[in-house]
Chains A and B, each alone.
Chain A
Amino acid sequence: MATIVETETEQPERVRSNGFRLSPAAISYLQATPLTLILGGFLLVPILMILVVSFWDYDFAQMYPDFLTMNYTETLGSWVTWKIYFNTLKFALLVWLLTLAIGFWVAYFLAFHIRTTAMQMVLFLICTVPFLTSNIIRMISWIPVLGRNGLVNSMLINTHVVSEPVEWLLYSDFAVVLAMVHLYTLFMVTPIFNTLMRIDKSLVEAARDAGASSWQTLTNVIIPLAKPGMAIGTIFVVTLVMADFSTVQVMSGGQSASVALMMKNQMSLLQYPAAAANAMVLLVLVLLMVAGILRIVDIRKEL
């Protein structure tokens, strides 16, 4: 998204004919410079630094420049790492499935069942209202709801549905997935809503004219045409879940782990090279996932 802002604002002044004149190639390079500097300085260089550090040696107090593959062999050789990666992927899969189902449902309702554009925009803005507060606050506010003496449990007990408080509501994988779905569904709604709004309504009529039932129209026309939006939403959600540590920490009460949480713990033990190696593995994994999504769905026409 930074690309759009940068390229649009950097419109170089036309150089007067009596002054010196830049060649078109130079102007193009000049236009690309600010973005190159920002991406280079704040993205490429840090990644390269992490890559370099991931090969260094370390002890409890210091890092030693070196070229060791030990950090990688230790990371990939440990069954704990594999378990944590598996756990993170499990969260990603569950959250993806739920956000996709809920996100498509909400977007479909907004795009096809709300008649006026004004109302569509109002309802869409209402969807974004929770995002005016911080992620952490929205996450923490689940605790009084799900806790042992929280809203849900006291209601269940008062209505005599259960006699003992339900323990798995908070500090469990359930709580983690619930909070993540809450936090990330909008990232699915927005791109899907965007693609659905572009579907020509006469296509739905044409399908009906050809004898398609509502379900057939959905599966044969609307979902295929919504795929680019689903792919973009999937990229958002999957990358967010794969990199999440705060939700996992708070909502699982430390009983569950994710890759990012593992890195955070390594860093608090000053094991920076180990965390760096972990980061590189995670980066490669997420890039492979994104590449996989882009292979399946062509999102270019969306951008």
Chain B
Amino acid sequence: MSKAAEIDIVSVSKVYGATTAVHAISLKIPAGTYCCLLGPSGCGKTSTLRMIAGHESISSGDVRLGNVVVTDFPPAKRGTAMMFQSYALFPHLDLVDNVAFSLKMKGVEKDERRAKAMDMLRLMQLEAYATRRPAQLSGGQQQRVALARALITDPDALLLDEPLSALDPFLKVRMRAELKKLQTSLGITFVHVTHSQEEAMALADLIVVMNDGRIEQAAHPRIVFEQPATAFVARFMGDHNVISGRVTQSSEGKLMISVPAGADFLAMDKGAAGLAETADIAVRTDHVRIGQPSEKGLGFTGSVTNVEYRGSSVKLSVIGAGIEDFTAILTDKQFFVTPVKVGEAIPLCWDIEDAVVLGRLKH
């Protein structure tokens, strides 16, 4: 069942009246990839998905699926199937007829389509509920029906619009694992819209972080997390402190920035910013230690504003050196060697490899 298709989005825009929801984005999703479109609400991720699906007209640009340009195709002709946020199961039909719906539209004989739908329900372990209506099922079961209905058309790509948002946290984690397993076994391309970075990290081969109708970064989860491209990505992915300042020095592959009315900070230079320009540095919260920095600019001294015990780790909030809110996550072991209290002044430090210079999108 490996007939996955590459999805190629070429400078696609979506304009609603005077507002632009998606600004000429380009993206290549390789065949058989689990791709997550990640971003806050209103960032254009759902519009992008709906344009791939054909439920939203494309204002400019093209979408290619495999070797076919599908820009002007209706949804059913594209070889994609969509799973809707609220599942959109037909309340008046039982599960068999829900799953067989697209076959009925194609004019497949009743017995044949019901048999195929039963096979699909068996795959989803729902055959016992075949004659029930969607309203009689739990959220997780409804989601499996929606999956079965989408997959019966044998699509090249499955498009999922916030598929886990309607489930309770426990079920969310379970269905997440099921989705990943399904994608691996089917081998088709999945495009999954979510606003949860945790979900995206757990599932995706390719995370596409979107903000304000633009792609901030599209890369493997590990790259997105370890080398966030922009300040937005670093903040949205979490677990990063973002320090903004003006570049004062740039030499020997090192960059020094100066925080307004604060200290100077050092980072590895990637040539992203010139002298006197503003630049952002991201520092992983869990790579911060208590102690004197090995070199000037790789730490600061600040006062503790909050201490949060989280079991295996302790979260410290620190203010100082012109930085409003700096977070350090220490392991419980590290913390309890030298516990600190709110109001105490402590030195924090990190290694130069943990300070990443962030780029800025050229709008």
Interface of A toward B, CB cutoff 8 Å: 200, 202-203, 205-213, 216, 220-221, 224-225
**Are A220 and B91 neighbours in the complex by a CB distance under 8 Å?**
no
Q: Which residues of A lie under 8 Å from residue B74 when comparing CB positions?
A: 208
Nearest CB of chain A from residue B73's CB, rounded to whole Å: 11
Tell me, in angstroms, the Cα distance from A150 to B305 when the chains sit together.
88
Q: How far is A216 from B55 in the complex, measured between Cα atoms in Å?
A: 17
The A-contacting residues of B in range 53-92, CB under 8 angstroms, are 53, 55, 74-77, 81-82, 84-86, 88-92
Other A-B pairs, 14, CB within 8 Å; known A210-B101, A210-B102: A200-B86, A202-B85, A205-B82, A206-B84, A207-B101, A207-B105, A208-B75, A209-B53, A210-B105, A210-B153, A211-B77, A212-B102, A212-B105, A220-B101
Residues of B within 8 Å of A210, CB to CB, are: 76, 101-102, 105, 149, 153
Neighbouring A residues of B81 by C-beta, 8 Å? 209
Question: Is the beta-carbon distance between B102 and A205 smaller than 8 angstroms?
Answer: no
Q: Is the CB of A216 within 8 A of B105?
A: yes
Taking a contact as CB atoms closer than 8 A, the residue among A205, A206, A211 that contacts B90 in the complex is A206
Chain A CB within 8 A of B172 CB: no
> Taking A205-B55, A221-B90, A224-B92 as contacts, is the C-beta distance between A211 and B102 under 8 angstroms?
yes
Q: How far is the CB of B298 from chain A (nearest CB, A)?
A: 52
Contacts of A206 in B (CB 8 A): 82, 84, 88-90, 149
Q: Which residues of A contact B102 (CB under 8 A)?
A: 209-212
Listed A/B pairs (8) with beta-carbon separation below 8 Å: A205-B84, A206-B90, A207-B105, A210-B105, A211-B75, A211-B77, A212-B101, A224-B92
Please determine whether B88 and A211 come into contact, CB atoms closer than 8 angstroms. no
- Complex Cα distance, B104 from A224, in Å, reads 15
Interface residue B363 (Cβ < 8 Å from any Cβ of A): no
Q: How far is the CA of A153 from the CA of B102 in the complex (A)?
A: 52
Instruction: Report the bound CA distance from A208 to B90 in whole Å.
Output: 13
Cβ contacts under 8 Å, B76 to chain A: 208-212
* Known contacts A208-B74, A209-B75, A225 near B92 by CB under 8 Å: yes
Q: How many A-B residue pairs have CB under 8 A?
A: 59
| Known pairs A209-B82, A211-B106; A203 contacts B101 (CB<8 A) | no
B88, A208: Cβ atoms closer than 8 Å: no
A211 to B55, CA, bound (A): 12
Please give the distance in Å from A137's CB to the nearest CB on chain B: 42
Residues of A within 8 A of B84 (CB): 202, 205-206
Residues in A with CB closer than 8 Å to B153 are: 210-211
A interface majority secondary structure: helix
Q: Which residues of A contact B88 (CB under 8 A)?
A: 200, 202-203, 205-206
Closest A residue to B104 by CB, please name it: A220
Which residues of chain B have C-beta atoms less than 8 A from A200's C-beta? 86, 88
- A223 CB → nearest B CB, Å: 10
Interface residues of B (CB under 8 A from A): 53, 55, 74-77, 81-82, 84-86, 88-92, 101-102, 104-106, 149-150, 153
User: Whole-angstrom distance between the alpha carbons of A33 and B216 in the complex?
Assistant: 67
Greatest chain A CB density within 10 A among B89, B90, B150 is at B90
A224, B91: Cα distance in complex, Å: 10
Bound together, the chains give a CA A212 to CA B53 distance in angstroms of 15
In the bound complex, CA of A216 to CA of B105 (Å) = 7
Write the nearest CB–CB distance from A244 to chain B, whole angstroms: 34
Q: Is the CB of A203 within 8 A of B90?
A: yes
Q: Rank and list the top 7 A-B pairs by shortest CB-CB distance, nearest first.
A: A211-B76, A210-B102, A206-B88, A202-B88, A212-B105, A211-B105, A224-B92
In the complex, what residues of B have CB within 8 A of residue A202's CB? 84-86, 88
Complex: A211 Cα to B81 Cα, angstroms:
10
Closest to A223 in B: B92
- Residue numbers in A under 8 Å from B86 (CB-CB): 200, 202
B190 to A: closest C-beta gap in Å: 16
Rounded to whole Å, the gap between the CB of B17 and the closest CB of chain A is: 12
A116 smallest CB distance to B (angstroms)? 13
CB within 8 A of A209: which of B55, B85, B89, B106?
Answer: B55
Query: How many whole Å from B220's CB to the nearest CB in chain A?
Result: 30
Chain A, Cβ-Cβ closest to B93 = A224
B101:A225 contact, CB within 8 angstroms: no
CA distance A167 to B69 in the complex (A): 62
- The interface residues of chain B lying within 8 Å CB-to-CB of A213 are 105
Residue of A nearest to B97 (CB): A220
| Docked pose: A225 CA to B89 CA in angstroms | 12
Nearest-neighbor residue (CB-CB) of B91 within chain A: A225
Bound-complex Cα distance A202 to B149 (A): 14
Q: Smallest CB–CB gap between A221 and chain B, Å?
A: 6
Complex Cα–Cα for A123 and B104 (A) = 36
Report how far A202 CA is from B82 CA in the complex, Å.
11
Nearest to A206 among chain B residues (CB) is: B88
Q: A237–B104 Cα gap in the complex (Å)?
A: 34
User: In the complex, what's the smallest C-beta–C-beta distance from A200 to chain B, in angstroms?
Assistant: 6
Q: How far in angstroms is the closest Cβ of chain B from A110? A: 21
Give the CA-CA distance A207 to B81 in the complex, in Å.
Answer: 11
Closest CB in chain A relative to B279 CB, distance in Å: 44
Residue in chain A with minimal CB distance to B86 = A202
Residues of A within 8 A of B105 (CB): 207, 210-213, 216, 220
Of all chain B residues, the one with the shortest Cβ separation from A217 is B105
Most buried by A among B77, B82, B85: B82
Residue from the set A211, A213, A220 with the largest chain B CB neighbour count within 10 Å: A211
Q: Min CB distance, B289 to chain A, in Å? A: 50
Chain B residue with Cβ nearest A212: B105
Q: How many angstroms between the C-alpha atoms of A220 and B90 in the bound complex? A: 10
Complex CA gap A216/B76 in Å reads 13
Cα(A261)–Cα(B154), bound, Å: 63
From residue B94, how far is it (CB to closest CB) to chain A in Å?
Answer: 12
- Please, how many angstroms separate the alpha-carbon atoms of A205 and B56 in the complex? 10
In angstroms, Cα B106 to Cα A216, docked, is 10
- The residues of A that contact B55 with a CB separation of less than 8 Å are 205, 208-209
Expressed in whole angstroms, the Cα–Cα distance for A216 and B82 within the complex equals 19
Q: What's the nearest-Cβ distance from chain B to residue A167, in Å? A: 48
Q: How far is the CB of A206 from chain B (nearest CB, A)?
A: 4
